[in-house]
Amino acid sequence: MSHQSSASRSARRFGVLLAATALVLTACSTPSAPADEDDDPAAAVGDSTGVTDTTVTIGTHTPLTGPAAAGYSSISAAATAYFAYLNAQGGVHGREIEYIVKDDGYNPANTQTVVRELVQQDGVFAIVNGLGTAPHQAVLDFLNQNKVPDLFVASGSTAWNQPDTYPYTFGFNADYVVEAAALAQYANDELPGKSVCMLGQDDDFGDDFLAGLELALGADGVTAVERYSVSNQDVTAQIGALQAAGCEVVTLATINGFTALAIGTAAQLGWFPQWMASSSGADYPTLAGYLGEAAPQLLQGFVGTNYSPMADDDWVSLFREINDEYNDGAAFDGNTIYGMSVAYTFGQALEAAGENPTRESLLEAVTSGALTGNGIVPVAFGADSHAAYLTVGITRVDAGVQDYVGSTYQVKDGAVTAVEPQPVALTAEGVPGA
Amino acid sequence: MDRLLFLFATGLARGAVFALFALSLVLIWRAARIINFAQGAMALVATYLAFAVTGLTGSYAAGLAAGILGGAAIGWAIERGVMRHAPHSTPLAGVIVAIGLVMVLQSLLGIVFGPQYRPMAAPFDETPIFLGGVPVLSPYDLFILVVALGVMGLLAVLFTRTSLGLQLRASAFAPEVSRMLGVRVDRMVTIGWMLSAAVAALAALLLIPTELGLNPHSTDMLFVYAFTVAVVGGLDSPVGALVGGLTVGVVISLVTGYLGSTVAPIGVLVLLVVVLLVRPGGVFSMREARTA
Amino acid sequence: MTRLFPRLAGTPRVLVVAGILTLLAIGGTFLLDPYRNFQLATAAAYFCAIGGLTLLVGLSGQLSLGHAALMAAGGYGYALTSIALTGAGLAGAGRFVIALVAGVVAASVLGLLLGLAGARLRGPYLAGLTLAFVIALPAVTSVFSGVFRGDQGLQTAYEPVPELLNRLIALEQWQAWVAIGVTSVVTTALALVRRGAGGLRMRAVRDDETAARLNGVAVRRVKVTAFTVSAAAAGAGGAVLCFVTQSVSPGGYTLAFSLLLLVGAVVGGLGSLGGAAIGAAVIVLLPWVLSLLAGSLDLPAELAQRLSGNLSVLVFGLLLIVVMLVRPGGLAGAFGGRRRGPWVRRSSTSPEPAEAPAPASPSPSPQKQFLAQER
């Protein structure tokens, strides 16, 4: 008898629980009140969710925990620090910017959940600097279907630059094709005749990077290609293979940790090729942290790409001050500069969106081409370009200092050309619109 | 040929660590007849302790000692505090509790230390020695091999030649009878846990300096590889752990070198399935079938 | 509940009860806002998988740490089929149902293989095998990245609300309805298995394989069937998840997620479907509650960062340990069912499991009629 009723008993428990849960959830849930166009006739026409008289709320998803967190968790902290600085200077059109940072552990399934929370529960105005190729791909459809501005995605994938399919999404990082093409062209120009090889991550990062190399060098211009997987930290086999292939220049589509692993492993084998890395894996302070005391020797002559301010640029000095004052003096590295640069660019966009910003006016501001950002060239946003940087500068480490060498390359219409850098100068102490 | 030799040599070095960790699994199996899924997490806590001590004192040896002692202490604490109270009628309850422990320990480490990779320095040079132009083993790799073999020898002596070892084996094999003969079975189980955890901590301490850095997920793959080694070698055979460890290390190195690094976990899975299907007792096991 | 429909018994009873609960759940969706409906849909998907897992562990005594990979198989099966059908021009309910079936079949096949490989194994060895399996999954998606697209996974077409209901309900509510519908079918099937001969045989095998064999139970077949059924349920859950989120990627089906499913099963009570529902609700709601709590305390930024994510894992781990030590029967036991889990023994705390474990609990059970031997 107990056998028979246990099924119904458990079923009944389920029912009771479900009813209880539903009641509890209804009581607890505080659905965001979407800004109603009919509410205030004097307000701007358009969707101003997340905007009040005194605040603008924006959100992001980023890995704060999990294996990927080590390389990226400091970016959102830096951006938050910049916004704190901006708010202290009066904000944008008198509104303070509130930046909600949610952890997705670099897991696309979690990204789905936290982005839905941000949009439907927290009612954010826009998603800014969502991090990670795979995580962000999972929410592209959702954000565009719900007409939420999806600005300055932190990833070098080319997927963010599709104005027709994803009109609400804009990238920020120079994409991997551009970076690889620039590095390959630099190798061609400065080290002609040397064999070029690649060590790359075994996903789109590596694929796009290889495509960029071939763009500059031709389909058989790359002597050897090795791939690594983030889950396996032993790259001895790959380095051995590259050495055996006689590579003289090794381009790296690697994150910082694996750049360090590659260089360190090769050094142990007594092999010192010319290393060139994408900006995702070329940050000197981070690499030095991994490589320890031998870093200045191992990284002498290390070449990378970048598009953000560097070394003793005015922007960097400003960011150092902001870091000290608003970020509890956290470690200052490439991620810090990057995070604050993105935040500044958003500040510019918000300022250009007008006194009463709406989601539509924000997009208008970005695609109008009026934004400059603060990088090595003004950002390249326009009506048919949702990419920020199609131009990157080459950087080099000399005696422990990493800086631009002056060579700058642009990729346009499938070809890479050398151009002159036009760094955006610091104005108004980094406060947009002031 | 050069490449093969090189991959083989690096595989041996990695395999020595797997062998040591697998040995700790063998130890706990022989002492308490369970497979401790929390072994990796416990070893990790000991490693963080060692890292902290080295950071404070600047001495690798002090850190090493602290790590090993810490491992033993953790083994004691977990056995006394948690595992002793788990239902014993089937091994599944213990496994589930161990999994809960993994979650607790890893998240605590993440909360206290954060997710950053903390590079750990090795006590010996990691540059390989060249034999006829081919890089072979590095001094540090040799150190690992020596330590692994030494520990195995010590444990072999302990288990076969000492009275303590006899008591340990008896308590695992026939607890009721041993109790009747005056063996303090509960204490033997605890000692088994302490020994096992200390060896696991040593293995982790040897491995992590060769990786990117110490972080809350450092020992995840190590546990899976060591478990595979234990299965391949036979859970009740220390010699099996050694040979199995070196074998698995070489296999992974060859797979990574020739097929790419992504394939490594698949290679491990295939190896596991093949051994479990063909020779479920493990290659070196005394028993015919997997009885538990 | 016996006071309602007292004359109903057996299978019709299960079906009627299931029907009522389903209607209640669907009614409940009207009370929730879109985000909560999304959570409800994911909880339903988890319920499918946890239901399968709890049956597998609680009823047949086989511990699987790899159920996330089986859910992933369901998700990928659904996604690949859905993409192929979209390419062929099919859409709507037809596409959904065919893709769902494909997902369930894919997971079942994988479960069958795993079950076959593991049928000779006991306890920890099977667990270890499933552990290696779930860790190898991301590698499979990377090696065959032409088909599976590696880390970024597959995106499926978005299924809009059908014409008829377009004006009445929002997208998330519609998705919750579909999820509830699929879950209802799957868990009713599981309930029927559980209370039928199949469930009986599983319990016999769990308690004493030798005795079961002596009584004519085909032990190996029962174990493999249990695995396959459980995998099918997990596959359905994975397919539903893919439907709700329109994407599937290996990152969503990690070892950590597998362990979370186990937490749901254990906390709810192994072997109990009601418990599985509780467990599903717990693993969806608890992280949200914890982050609310953590957010309300004014913590320094770095500590707050470290807590988010880690805190819920910590609590789940503690729950797992505490439940196993104190109340192995789980939360379902709290409502008056079996207090002690499926494997409590009256005798001493001997660690020797080489002998066959004694039967489940001292309370009278139908096994006694089934098994000839008295214990």
Per-residue pLDDT in tens (0 to 9) along chain B, 292 residues:
677 887 888 788 888 888 889 989 988 887 777 788 899 999 999 999 999 999 898 888 899 999 999 999 999 999 888 888 877 766 778 888 888 999 999 999 988 887 777 888 788 877 777 777 777 778 888 888 888 888 888 888 888 889 888 888 888 788 889 889 888 888 888 998 999 999 999 999 988 888 778 888 888 888 888 888 887 887 777 888 888 888 888 988 888 877 777 788 888 888 888 887 777 666 666 554 444 4
Q: State residue A81's pLDDT score.
A: 93
Looking at the predicted structure, is the pLDDT value of residue C46 above 90?
Answer: yes
In this prediction, residue B124 carries a pLDDT of 80
* DSSP labels, B103-168: HHHHHHHHHHH-S--B----SS--SPPEETTEE---HHHHHHHHHHHHHHHHHHHHHHHSHHHHHH
Most distant CA pair in chain B, distance: 63
In degrees, rounded to 5, the angle at the alpha carbon of residue A268 between the alpha carbons of residues B134 and A206 is 100
Query: In the prediction, which pLDDT does A29 show?
Result: 39
Contacts of C88 (CB under 8 A, 6+ apart): none
| Gyration radius of chain A's alpha carbons | 24
What is the pairing mode between strands A391-398 and A303-306?
Answer: antiparallel
ipTM: 0.84
Give residues 100 to 119 of B whose Cβ lies within 8 Å of A: 110, 115-117, 119
- C355: contact with B, CB 8 A cutoff: no
- Give the separation between CA A208 and CA C338, rounded to whole angstroms: 57
Q: What is the 3-state secondary structure (H, E, C) of A370-405?
A: CCCCCCCCCCCCECCECCCCCEEEEEEEECCEEEEE
User: CA of C308 to nearest chain B CA: how many angstroms apart?
Assistant: 9
| pLDDT class of A14 with cuts at 50, 70, 90 | low
Q: In chain C, what residues touch B82 (CB-CB under 8 Å)? A: 321, 325
* Beta carbons of A11 and C21 less than 8 Å apart: yes
Is residue A178 within 8 A of residue A391, CB to CB? The reply is yes
Quote the crossing angle between the two packed helices A204-217 and A176-190, to the nearest 10°: 40
Hey, which of A59-68, A230-239, C253-262 has the most confident mean pLDDT?
C253-262
Which of B152-186 are b and which e, b meaning 16 or more Cβ less than 10 Å from the residue's Cβ? beebeeebeeeeebebbbbbbebbeebbeeebebb
Q: How confident is residue A339, by pLDDT bands cut at 50, 70 and 90?
A: very high
Could you give the C-alpha distances from B285 to A3, A63, B22, B40, C129, in angstroms and in order?
43, 44, 14, 24, 18
User: How do residues A358-367 score in pLDDT, each as one tens digit?
Assistant: 999 999 999 9
DSSP summary character for residue C59: I
* E strand or H helix at A108: helix A108-116
Please state the pTM of the whole predicted model: 0.80
| Integer-rounded Cα radius of gyration of chain B | 19
User: Please, what are the domains in chain A?
Assistant: 55-174+310-389 (3.40.50.2300), 176-306 (3.40.50.2300)
Q: Are A70 and B3 inside 8 Å of each other by CB?
A: no
> Does any CB of chain A come closer than 8 Å to the CB of residue B150?
no
Instruction: Inform me whether the C-beta atom of residue C375 falls under 8 Å from chain B C-beta atoms.
Output: no
B282 vs A370: which has the higher pLDDT: A370
Instruction: Tokens for A426, please give them.
Output: 């610091």
Nearest beta carbon to residue A257 from set B2, B7, B212: B212
Confidence band for A82, pLDDT divided at 50, 70 and 90? very high
How many residues in chain A? Answer: 434
A203 closest CB neighbour out of C152, C245, C273: C152
pLDDT value, residue B281: 65
- Confidence at residue C185, expressed as pLDDT on a 0 to 100 scale: 92
- Confidence band, pLDDT 50/70/90 cuts, at residue A36: very low
Query: pLDDT band at residue A51, thresholds of 50, 70 and 90?
Result: very high
- Output the average pLDDT for chain C: 80
Contact C17 A8 (CB under 8 A): yes
Contact yes or no for C56/C230 (Cβ under 8 A): yes
E-assigned strand segments in chain C:
154-155, 247-248
- The band of A74, judged by pLDDT with boundaries at 50, 70 and 90, is confident
Structure confidence at residue A19 as a pLDDT band (50, 70, 90): low
DSSP assigned state of C358: P
Bridge partner residues of A171 (DSSP): A153
Confidence (pLDDT) at C367:
37
CA-closest candidate to residue A123, choices A38, A42, A47, A39: A47
Smallest Cα–Cα separation from C21: which of A9, B285, B16?
A: A9
Mean pLDDT value across residues A232-254: 87
Neighbours of B188 (CB within 10 A): 21
- The yes-or-no verdict on residue C340 having pLDDT over 60 is no
- Subunits with 3+ Cβ pairs within 8 Å of C are A, B
**Arithmetic mean of pLDDT, C77-97:** 88
In this predicted structure, the answer to whether residue A12 has a pLDDT above a threshold of 80 is: no
What confidence score (pLDDT) does residue B49 get?
Answer: 93
